[in-house]
Structure 1
């Protein structure tokens, strides 16, 4: 019976001592912190509140070796700039992925290089026709505006007021002329880059086709 009591007491001591030993073994090792403050290096075993956002080096008090280096906290402006850079990088990656998908679709859509050329030629012809139509429309609009301006000028020379309907018509024709001119400028830009787009597409097409297995 005495032996049983001794065994129970030993088990209790072991049960109480085990968590204590684990707590001591699991206790994090003490660290030192070093940071710059007013142009000089400051070290301590605790990090003051005013240094929390500063760049610092963390050193093991036991080994004296640096265990971590923490950069300073970003300012509000730097955080915004970092977020913008991250969004730009993400957009660039998405654009590159979209380009790869388009290139793959292009390689699958056209059996030969000539098929690709024919497709681009159709686009180029359409662009040429669109530019010509816009030029004709602008010339017609210009002539209409000149006619209205002559009427307004004749009225003023005859000391007659320019009617509201005529004045509104002149204003509307002028605004529409400016709009058509801006549209034509964009169309001409697209046409000017069409040949370069074809050259780039042919280069990518041939590169993709050459990389396909089974091509000698």
Structure 2
């Protein structure tokens, strides 16, 4: 496999020329550029230790970029992404269920007590979502603290922090910020649902008893 360090734009174009010619003669193979030990490297094949790195794919026919491949996620990032997807799915399910209940409210609930119980069910689901997100935030924070301790130990030993560890710290911190923001939104929704219940109760009373004066919930 041919690889070259990627430095300046002009140098890259010149350095890529022989690789492009080789790839074209080989039937239009792709070229790849990735980060290796702080340098950008290009080649006509990926070495085994670079398959998880972020990379740029280049057409040997045109010399133009044809795609970008992000680096592989760490185990912690995969777990965080799975937790995020589960929270989003649960939140969407709650919203869909709420919309269906509101649409059929007048036909579905014979009494105000039935309507109240339906909202209590929504509150319970939101409470469970908030608890799940709180556990996820706590786990991310603990993982980030572990990574920071590793970095601190390396610095105390007089060695530079490994680039992979620094990337993991940045990724964990960014994911923690996103999860905390999501938790704030969920807690806000939980606090707002009582106001939604009061509004729904007024609509229910207006539908069941048109012309009656509004009363307290």
| TM-score, normalised via structure 1 length | 0.49
Higher helix share: 1
Structure with max Cα Rg: 1
| TM-score, normalised via structure 2 length | 0.48
